[in-house]
Structure 1
Amino acid sequence: MQNWIQQPNNSLLMLGDFNASYYTFPYEVDPELEIIIKGQFPYARYMSFTLAGQLDNVIVTASDKALIPDPGSTNPFLPGANWNADNRNYTIKIRSTAPPQGSEHFVPEAGNNVFYAGTLKDGTQNSFGLIGLRIYVPSIGYDKTGGVGLPKITYCTAKKDYKNTNINRFINTTDPYNPLNPTSVNDKEVIIKRCCCETVGQDCDIAWNRIGIIATRLLQPDLNTIYMISEQIQRDSCELLFIRWKAPKFPDTYHNTGLIGNEDMRYWSISFVSRVGLLGLYTISDFQAVIDKNGYVNLVISFGAPRPSFVTAENEFNWIDASNLPLIPLYLMYRNNQVSQNFSYTAKNIPEGQIVPPEVMGKYYPCGKYVNPRYFNSCCYDDTDRHSKNKCHY
């Protein structure tokens, strides 16, 4: 038996989100041994296993919906599946060999989902690595494992001359969603009650990039997630950072409602992170955010400036006082997890490390503007009055 090692949310290994739990265990490539993992699908938003090789190179990620359950069990992460199914078992095997010719490093099969750890993604020999387990947003009433405990890990003698006879049964694990009512950026919207909101989305003050190639190779990202990172945030006690964007549709698994199939993505969140190591410092995610009647998130961030009286949850605003975060350069990370094939408003096609143009994401682009606190009391704000040396004008 082997035990899982819990990783903190601000671990250097996992690009942590504060609404997720992270676990790893190390392995060595040994043709004489086979690692068997037996677990249950959790009552949670998302689960995945990541196989990383030497030097932390990520080889492959298998998400919850890609795992074929044991015979007689149900995978509740498929659209329309029974979310509360009693039998929800799966089995994973990790083999110290290269994948069969023409196969990927992960091959799903009922009761026999296989990772091949003998080679890295580029085909070079692998000697050791880590298995990472992620569990996002346990449903209300369940613990951080989603109410099913951690999977059991067992080492067994490997079968000699093993051949995968089921390669031709390799299933297409791409997103099966077929949205019943896809969102369009051209949808007619209700007029926003405060005109100050209407100006955000134009002439954004902060730029976003796809996360760089070093992070995607060394920090064990989930390969089913699109990561965007902002430029450095200005920490000005005289101003607020107002970020507004259209909220992608997500499943309400937090309240124990299963996946329907018309979701834009499985999960999204914005986290404060450090420059070095992209350590997570704070997260606000989809189920925590107030979403206004037009489907937008209105996020106001303070670094010491007072909270305007109008900026309340009742008025459809989200407020974060970031003045108590560590006094280091701060960045924001926006993650989109398991995006539907029918949802195109992401940075998916932007090369790693490149700037994400706002027009690529349209209204779903998190557009940030630095504003004076009284901006929310009057839309006739004079931008020239933002500063007067060391004095704040409210």
Structure 2
Amino acid sequence: MNMIAVLRRVLAVAAVVGSTAAPMALTPPAQAGPLTDCGWSRRIGADTLNVALPDTFANYWMAAVPGLPAEGLTLRGRYPHGRYISFTSYQGSRTLDGLDDLRIDPDPGSVNPFRPGADRAATERSFTVRVLPGPRPERPAPNTLYADSGVALIIYRVYRVDEGRDPLGGEPLPEITVHGADGPRALPACTTAKGAIDTSSARLSGGQQLPPGVPGPDYRVWSKTSGDGVFANPDNTYLASHVAPRAGQVAVVRAKLPTTPGTYRGQATMTLAQLRYWSMCSNELATTRVSACVVDDETPVDERGWFTVVVSDRADRPANATRYCGVAWLPTAGLTTTLLMRNMLPDTVFAHSIQRAPADDPAAEMGDYYPRTELRTTAEFEGIGCGN
């Protein structure tokens, strides 16, 4: 079975934002023969395999290694030119372990460009990560990811690559070597059929019931979620809300934008900031498709550091919902749109991140960083003019 078939099987059992759905099991690989005879899948993302609520400014690759031996496997690669990378292991679609770039030590003589103050353009930038079977111990080994011994399911993420770089940030995919009793075995590159995959069938199962905690019909309420259950990134925490503007209406979302490090223009060093990464995305919850996202370094802010994001049907987009007018815009995604606001890796001194907010009342801790939503007509918003 090639990797695309694996992705179809795995993604078919993924459903809504994780904290809002009951656990779902992956079909045991023994019933379907070998899962894969190759390494990383084709690139996963909004323009290729649009499922599991991807971020349009991130790229994803998946590897599935059945029967992970006790000796594990190694991932040898080079740090990309981008904002963030990580490796995450899963059991089915639920997160087991994660290893973000700050915790990936470079090989001797190399530089980790993601650490504050490091040279982002360093030529020597190699790393080695070990993947071992079993749960993450209380004192994990350095540069080690822990995975399911039945199926070592791993996702490699690369966020916000530098301008002019390919989706991998100008570096190749890490080499995967499986270690076993018969010695090391390098997994070859996967070959896949051309063309995108129709993933519209990846929906909630017929009997699936959404437990309490799902954002309700009140568009003013944003609920905290980890996203676990749809191949979530453990370095992100989210606020989720539902909006359903009628014809001629727009949803207007405003809040203060956390600071993030500048990387897209090829800045020389990674600087400290309140978050590593921020985005807001428009999603269709039933299919877990993303419609579009706005990202931190492209989101305009006013003199106080506040952003304005307008969400509407394309036909109702206000004329002043443009970056020139200081307004970001997102299209709706079906009759009801799920908005997800991401906070990644908050700095220890940033007290207003989603991660540090109480689940029952995130607004209380987030203050100005908690989004406020109101509904207006398109004409009313256009009446504000440019530079609101």
Shared fold (TM-score greater than 0.5)? yes
1:18 to 1:221, Cα distance in 2 relative to 1, 3 A: same
Task: Give the equivalent residue in structure 2 for 1:6.
Answer: 42
Question: Of residues 365, 384, 392 in structure 1, which corresponds to 2:370?
Answer: 365
Task: Give the equivalent residue in structure 1 for 2:267.
Answer: 257
Is contact 1:46–1:135 with CA below 8 Å preserved after alignment?
yes
Q: Deviation of residue 307 (structure 1)? A: 4.6
Structural mapping, 1:237-276, within 5 Å: 237-276=247-286
1:41 matched to 2:79: yes
Task: After superposing the two structures, state which structure 1 stretch, 75-84 or 91-100, moved more.
Answer: 91-100
Q: Deviation of residue 359 (structure 1)? A: 2.8
Task: Give the equivalent residue in structure 1 for 2:125.
Answer: 88
Structural mapping, 1:117-266, within 5 Å: 117=147, 126-157=149-180, 205-211=219-225, 215-216=227-228, 218-230=229-241, 232-266=242-276
Report SS of the residue matched to 1:36: strand
Task: Give the equivalent residue in structure 1 for 2:353.
Answer: 346
1:13 to 1:130, Cα distance in 2 relative to 1, 3 A: farther
Report SS of the residue matched to 1:299: strand
Q: Deviation of residue 151 (structure 1)? A: 0.9
1:265 to 1:156, Cα distance in 2 relative to 1, 3 A: same
Which amino acid letter does the alignment assign opposite residue 224 of structure 2? R
Q: Deviation of residue 363 (structure 1)? A: 0.9
- How many pairs were matched up? 312
1:12 to 1:129, Cα distance in 2 relative to 1, 3 A: farther
Task: After superposing the two structures, state which structure 1 stretch, 281-290 or 70-79, moved more.
Answer: 281-290
Cα offsets for 1:219-250 (capped at 9, x unmatched) = 121111112211x2113112111111111101
Q: Deviation of residue 330 (structure 1)? A: 1.4
Task: Give the equivalent residue in structure 2 for 1:330.
Answer: 337
1:272 to 1:97, Cα distance in 2 relative to 1, 3 A: closer
Question: Of residues 103, 111, 114 in structure 1, which corresponds to 2:144?
Answer: 114
Q: Deviation of residue 349 (structure 1)? A: 3.8
Task: Give the equivalent residue in structure 1 for 2:197.
Answer: none
Cα offsets for 1:326-373 (capped at 9, x unmatched) = x3431101111111111111222456xx45442321111121110123
Distance 2:64 2:271 in 1: 35
1:39 to 1:249, Cα distance in 2 relative to 1, 3 A: same
**What's the RMSD between the two structures over aligned residues?**
2.7
What are the ranges of 5 or more consecutive residues in structure 2 without an aligned counterpart?
1-36, 184-217
Q: Deviation of residue 156 (structure 1)? A: 2.6
Identity rate, percent: 26
Cα offsets for 1:255-308 (capped at 9, x unmatched) = 111555430111110111122253322111112212223211111222256454
Task: Give the equivalent residue in structure 2 for 1:18.
Answer: 56
1:149 to 1:14, Cα distance in 2 relative to 1, 3 A: farther
Distance 1:30 1:283 in 2: 36
Task: Give the equivalent residue in structure 2 for 1:374.
Answer: 379
Distance 2:259 2:338 in 1: 25
TM norm structure 2 = 0.73
TM norm structure 1 = 0.72
1:207 to 1:297, Cα distance in 2 relative to 1, 3 A: same
Question: Of residues 50, 57, 66 in structure 2, which corresponds to 1:28?
Answer: 66
Report SS of the residue matched to 2:307: strand
Q: Deviation of residue 206 (structure 1)? A: 1.9
What are the ranges of 5 or more consecutive residues in structure 1 without an aligned counterpart?
119-125, 161-203, 380-394
Task: Give the equivalent residue in structure 1 for 2:191.
Answer: none
Distance 2:364 2:258 in 1: 16
Task: Give the equivalent residue in structure 2 for 1:317.
Answer: 327
Is contact 1:41–1:90 with CA below 8 Å preserved after alignment?
yes
Distance 1:97 1:308 in 2: 53
Distance 1:378 1:140 in 2: 36
Which amino acid letter does the alignment assign opposite residue 108 of structure 2? P
Distance 1:58 1:142 in 2: 29
Larger Rg computed on CA atoms: 1
Distance 1:5 1:358 in 2: 39
